[in-house]
Amino acid sequence: MAGHSKWANIKHRKGRQDAVRSKQFTRAAKEIIIAAKVSGDIANNPRLRSAIAAAKAVNLPKDKIENAIKKGTGELAGGDIHEITYEGYGPGGVAILIEVASDNKNRIVAEMRHTLNKGNGNMGEAGSVAWMFDNKGQIVIKKDAVSEEQVMDLGLEAGAEDIIEEDENWDIRCEPTDLEAVRTAFEEAGIAIESAEMAKIPQNTIELDAEGAKKMLRLIDLLEENDDVQNVFTNMDVSDDVMAELNAE
């Protein structure tokens, strides 16, 4: 649930480590393929550099990274992948943005509509909820990897707009054009990064009770089970008390 690191660690995914790992590999490889379509020149393609860094962070093997680049540049077959964003609503009126990377536009739109309906949501028209989100670069770093003073100094000097302290993480946000510079600043300082990616940050959030959160998390799970889904962003929020309740189950 990129863009919502505050509650991304809710234990509704326990027991799915292997499935999650496979999904991470698929997602990382597809992002490399898409990024490499612009250019396979890593030095002059910031998106490709970020995609490769993200792939390494989830331990995608080197040969799979190289093959993904070649698929994107057309050297290997399998690069006919399209980026599409679907918009909709979930339980409680929560806004949803679904980013997919698919080789079959007709199939994926039918699957997304079916999944939303199954999870008590519905597909929206283009533009129906996108205006509720801001496009930002987002970097997540474990709090035990860096001091508050260091994260502030490095982040703000590199171009970060906002640094949010959460239970276990620092959530660092910046303009999309500054993501590479901010990520590089922390890496060059020897600080481990959990994730660095483009995210859709909601301008306002809808707070859900435990029952509403369960329904929404189930819908997110259903969407993320689709191999073509790259990211799911929502304007859902849950209180600390509700998070504790969900974690206890």
Hey, do 5-73 and 82-129+204-248 end up sharing a CATH topology, with the first three levels equal?
no
pTM for this model (two decimals):
0.85
Q: Tokens 């205006």: give the residue.
A: 131
Phi and psi at residue 112, to the nearest 5°: -65, -40
Q: Which of 222, 170, 155 is nearest to 1 (CA)?
A: 222
Q: Which two tokens stand for residue 195?
A: 């994730």
Q: Is 159 left (phi over 0), alpha (psi -120 to 50) or beta?
A: left
Does 82-129+204-248 carry CATH code 3.30.70.980? yes
- The CATH number given to 132-202 is 3.30.70.980
pLDDT in tens, the chain (249 residues): 334 444 444 434 444 555 667 788 888 999 999 999 989 998 888 889 888 988 888 889 999 999 999 999 999 998 889 999 999 999 999 999 999 999 999 999 999 999 999 999 999 999 999 999 999 999 999 999 899 999 999 999 999 999 998 878 899 999 988 998 998 999 999 998 888 888 899 999 999 999 999 999 999 989 988 989 999 999 998 888 888 787 777
Q: String of b and e for 132-146 (b: at least 16 CB within 10 Å)?
A: bbeebbbbbbeeebb
Q: Which pLDDT value is given to residue 242? A: 83
> What homologous superfamily is domain 5-73 in, according to CATH?
Integrase, N-terminal zinc-binding domain (1.10.10.200)
User: What are the residue boundaries of the structural domains of the chain, listed by start?
Assistant: 5-73, 82-129+204-248, 132-202
